[in-house]
């Protein structure tokens, strides 16, 4: 079964720390992988999309990497801020499918 796992489910850190959020997936034959952010009571905001042929993508303080052979992606957040507090979700599309498979998400709290 194709699954996406995010561990831990929650993380609380002081402001200013550099963070690594983990995502693992079964089956390396992915089409692409996408990271999202969700604030309480809101929809999902797309942060980064990594195609299967890419190793990483960057946007501002965010950097996402992809290692298909080990079934892992990491989202790196530099110099975390209280405004980064949200739930972060990882989602994968495997080849031959139209559907994103989501992890359960990781709730991040950045304390001032």
Partner 1 sequence: DVKVTQSSRYLVKRTGEKVFLECVQDMDHENMFWYRQDPGLGLRLIYFSYDVKMKEKGDIPEGYSVSREKKERFSLILESASTNQTSMYLCASRKIPGEQYFGPGTRLTVT
Contact letters for partner 1, residues 75-94 (x by CB under 8 A):
--------------x-x---
For residue 50, whether the previous peptide bond is cis, meaning omega lies within 30 degrees of 0, is: no
Task: Examine residue 32 and tell whether it contacts partner 1 (CB under 8 A).
Answer: yes
Q: Closest distance between partner 1 and the C-beta of residue 50, in Å? A: 10
Asked if 106 interacts with partner 1 (CB under 8 A), we say no
Q: Are 104 and 57 in contact (CB under 8 A)?
A: no
**Should residue 11 be labelled a site residue for partner 1 when binding is judged by CB under 8 A?**
no
Quick one: 75 or 80, whose CB is closer to partner 1? 75
**Phi and psi based region of residue 53 (left: phi greater than 0; alpha: psi -120 to 50; beta: remaining):** alpha
d(CA 104, CA 38): 12
């Amino acid at each position: 079964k194709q699954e996406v796992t995010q561990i831990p489910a929650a993380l609380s850190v002081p402001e200013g720390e550099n963070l690594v959020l983990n995502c693992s997936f079964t089956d390396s034959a992915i089409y692409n992988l996408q990271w999202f952010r969700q604030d309480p009571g809101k929809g999902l905001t797309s942060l980064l999309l990594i195609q299967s042929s890419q190793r990483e993508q960057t946007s501002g303080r965010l950097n996402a990497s992809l290692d298909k052979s080990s079934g892992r992606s990491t989202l790196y957040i530099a110099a975390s801020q209280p405004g980064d507090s949200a739930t972060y979700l990882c989602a994968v599309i495997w080849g031959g499918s139209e559907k994103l498979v989501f992890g359960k998400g990781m709730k991040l709290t950045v304390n001032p």
